[in-house]
Amino acid sequence: MTRVFSGVKPTGHLTLGNYLGAIRRWADVDQRQSDALFCVVDLHALTVDHDPARVRRLTRQAATLLLAAGLDPELCTVFVQSHVDEHTRLSYVMECVATDGEMRRMIQYKEKAERERARGGSVRLSLLTYPVLMAADILAYGTDEVPVGDDQTQHVELARDLAVRFNQRYGHTFVVPRATRPGVAARVMNLQEPTSKMGKSDDSGPGIVYLLDEPDVVRKKVMRAVTDSGAEVVYDREERPGVANLLEILAACGGGNPEDLSGVYESYGALKKDTAEAVVELLRPVQERHKALCADPAYVEGVLRDGAERARGMAKPMVDTAYRAIGLLPA
């Protein structure tokens, strides 16, 4: 059976981008066809300036939302990264395989480091080594497939490179994973700045649809989305990024294709209205289940406890093998 692993970082409230680019597929496809693990990667949330109480709150909220989105603990393993020590155990070993040049070339590192410096802050060392921990997350489980949005491609490529390098130097140990991406909405853009990704840690609230936004808030955000000059509805990501983004969101909500949909609309207003309603309907069941799960925190805690135990059982043999292969004396 195909082993699938993916994760979400609790650095902000989950967005429509997280849902369309990753989480919805985990629930609809991945958990049904494979032996899958989904993780709230809380250690990764400590790589930038953070508030401990907020990270704890967002970790619980993200786990609850994964279940609300349809992840079924009977079908897959849902857990929190810091509950399974194997991730950090393996990360150190993989730091001995990666190079600092590789780390400094990572686009997300460059962007985030620049942002931290621009704010007058310092760059945490863990921001630089972040992709190694991510590689360890993936490799610890013998992962075949990593379902992610577009922005994670470079990180998954690094995990592949490190797996291959480790295997060549120390003997075959790791499965070489590959990224899988959704057909549409692999990169949902910010509604106010359609040339930038809709990111949960960004500050531009009006351009970001959060999974827990009330229907009227969703409507307002979509209706105020920046569109392009011109009036014709055409699907052109380069020239008309705002309209293309709306067409992609609408297509992803209804399962259509953005090019076909562009022929259906004669005005931006009608496109926005239908997109807003489609997003509201898409989020409605998730929000309802989230509300029900919030009333039963003991259930969520139980799922995470069981999930961590199962994950530990899967990761430990792999990490022990990697420790022996690289030359560490068994305890």
Which of 37, 90, 134, 246 binds ligand TYM (CB under 6 A)? It is: 134
197 is catalytic: yes
d(CA 49, CA 244): 34
User: Cα–Cα distances in Å, from 68 out to 42, 168, 196, 209, 216?
Assistant: 19, 42, 28, 17, 21
Q: What would you measure as the largest C-alpha separation in the chain, in angstroms?
A: 69
DSSP string over 215-284 = HHHHHHHHHT----SSS-----TTT-HHHHHHHHHHHHHHT--HHHHHTT-S-HHHHHHHHHHHHHHHHH
Residue 202, annotated ligand binder? no
Report the residue number whose CB is nearest to ligand TYM: 21
d(CA 287, CA 205): 19
Which of 4, 9, 30, 265 binds ligand TYM (CB under 6 A)? It is: 9
Stretch that binds ligand TYM, among 150-158, 218-226, 245-253, 311-319 (CB under 6 A): 150-158
Show the site string, 197-236: x = touches ligand TYM by CB under 6 A, - = not. xxx-------------------------------------
Stretch that binds ligand TYM, among 149-157, 269-277, 294-302, 304-312 (CB under 6 A): 149-157
> Does residue 6 bind ligand TYM (CB under 6 A)?
yes
> Does residue 188 bind ligand TYM (CB under 6 A)?
yes
Give min distance, CB of 266 to ligand TYM, in A: 28
Residue 17, annotated ligand binder? yes
Residue 101, annotated ligand binder? no
Contact 36, 73 (CB under 8 A): no
Residue 131, annotated ligand binder? no
Residue 199, annotated ligand binder? yes
Of 229, 249, 250, 251, nearest to 240 by C-alpha is 229
316 is catalytic: no
> Does residue 112 bind ligand TYM (CB under 6 A)?
no
Which of 5, 109, 235, 323 binds ligand TYM (CB under 6 A)? It is: 5
Q: Which is nearer to ligand TYM, 102 or 151 (CB)?
A: 151
DSSP string over 85-146 = THHHHHHHHHHTTS-HHHHHT-HHHHHHHHHHHHTT----HHHHHHHHHHHHHHHTTT-SEE
Q: Which is nearer to ligand TYM, 64 or 152 (CB)?
A: 152
112 is catalytic: yes
Q: What residues contact residue 67 under an 8 Å CB cut-off, 6+ apart?
A: 73, 78, 289, 293, 300, 303
Q: Which of residues 35-54 bind ligand TYM (CB under 6 A)?
A: 41, 44
Q: What residues contact residue 141 under an 8 Å CB cut-off, 6+ apart?
A: 3, 5, 37, 311, 314, 315, 318
* Number of Cα atoms under 13 Å in the Cβ half of residue 250: 25
Which of 37, 68, 138, 222 binds ligand TYM (CB under 6 A)? It is: 138
Q: Which is nearer to ligand TYM, 205 or 263 (CB)?
A: 205
DSSP reduced 3-state for 51: coil
DSSP reduced 3-state for 3: strand
Give catalytic residues, as residue numbers. Answer: 112, 197, 200
Residues lying near ligand TYM in the complex (CB under 6 A) are found at 5-9, 17-18, 20-22, 41, 44, 134, 137-138, 146, 148-149, 151-152, 155, 186-188, 197-199
Residues placed in the known binding site: 9-11, 17-18, 137, 149-151, 188, 197-201
Residues placed in the known binding site for L-tryptophan: 137
